[in-house]
Amino acid sequence: MMRRVAIELKNVSRQFISPAGKVTLALRDFSLTVNEGDFCVIVGPTGCGKSTTLGMITGLNPPSTGTVEVFGKPVTGIDPDIGFVFQADAVFPWKNVLDNVAVGPIYRGKPAAQAREMAAHWVRRVGLAGFEHHFPHQLSGGMRKRVALAQTFINEPKILLMDEPFSALDVQTRALMQDELLGLWSEKKASVVFVTHDIEEAIALGDRVVVLSKGPGSVKCSYDIGLPRPRDVSTARYTGEFIDLSRKIWSDLKDEVQI
C-alpha cells in the first residue's frame, strides 16, 4: 500500500551569517524524504546540520536554497500538526505536571476542564500517575522526559521532531524512555525525524538511519533497519543484525568525526 510523503526536503542549503558578517554553510544540497508513519533517525558529527534540518521542517529556519514540503505543501510557518521534543526540558517550572501537560490543548482552544481531563489521561499513560501535582524540580530526569512526551503526544501531532531528547539521561533511564517512546509511537504512528549522536539509539529506534557528512552536511548514506516491530530496545541491541548494522554505520561515520 502506497503511503503519502510526510516530509520532503529537496536540494536544500542553509547558511547563517554571524553579527560580524561571517557566512557559515550548515547544509549543502541536502535532500530527505520521510513517508507517513516512518521513524527516520539522523546521525552525524557535531556541526553537520542535524538540528538545522529540524528547524527547516518546523519553518523556524527556512532554507537558503531548495524547498521544504510537509504533506505536499511548502513550509511557510509554524505548523500546529508538528510536535517538537527538545534536548533540554521544555517544562514550566512554576506549573505542576498536570498543568504542564494541559498547556498545549488550552493553547489550541480547549476549555480548561477538558484540557485537564485530557492531561490526566496522558499523565497516566506515561507512567506518572500519583505525580500529577508534583513540580518539575521534584522529578527525576526520566520523569521530566515523560512529562515532555505527554506534552507532545496529547496534541496528536502528525509529525514528531526530536532533537537528542534522551542524551542527558543515564544508560538505564535512556533505554526505558526509548521503549516508552516506541510504545507511544506505535499507537499514534506519527512521522518521526529523530536526531542523535548515538548509533545504537538510532538503530534501536529507527526504520531508517541517515548518516550525514561533516559540515556543511549532506547525506552520506542511508540504512534501512529491518529489525522486527514491535521492538524491545533492551533485547534488540544484542542480536547479530543489530551488531552488524552498528559496525557498518560506524564505518561510514568515523571518517566524518576524525580530526
User: Which residue range forms the structural domain that includes residue 167?
Assistant: 5-81+157-257
CA distance 195 to 55: 12
Provide the number of structural domains found in the chain.
Answer: 1
| Side chain identity at residue 90, one-letter code | A
Q: Is residue 46 part of a domain?
A: yes
CA distance 157 to 148: 13
Q: Is residue 136 part of a domain?
A: no
Q: Is residue 94 part of a domain?
A: no
Dump pLDDT digits (tens) for 184-193: 898 878 999 9
| Side chain identity at residue 79, one-letter code | D
Dump pLDDT digits (tens) for 145-191: 899 999 999 999 999 999 998 888 888 888 888 998 999 898 878 99
The vertex-220 CA angle with 37 and 12, nearest 5°, equals: 70
Q: Is residue 219 part of a domain?
A: yes
Q: In 3D, which of 37, 63, 250 has the Cα closest to residue 160?
A: 37
Q: Is residue 26 part of a domain?
A: yes
Q: Is residue 86 part of a domain?
A: no
> Which residue matches cell numbers 547479530?
240
Position 258 pLDDT exceeds 70: no
Q: Is residue 162 part of a domain?
A: yes
- CATH, residue 59: 3.40.50.300
List 32's β-bridge partners, or say none: 9
Q: Is residue 89 part of a domain?
A: no
Examine residue 216 and say whether the peptide bond preceding it is cis (omega within 30 degrees of 0).
yes
pTM: 0.92
Dump pLDDT digits (tens) for 47-72: 888 888 999 999 888 889 999 999 99
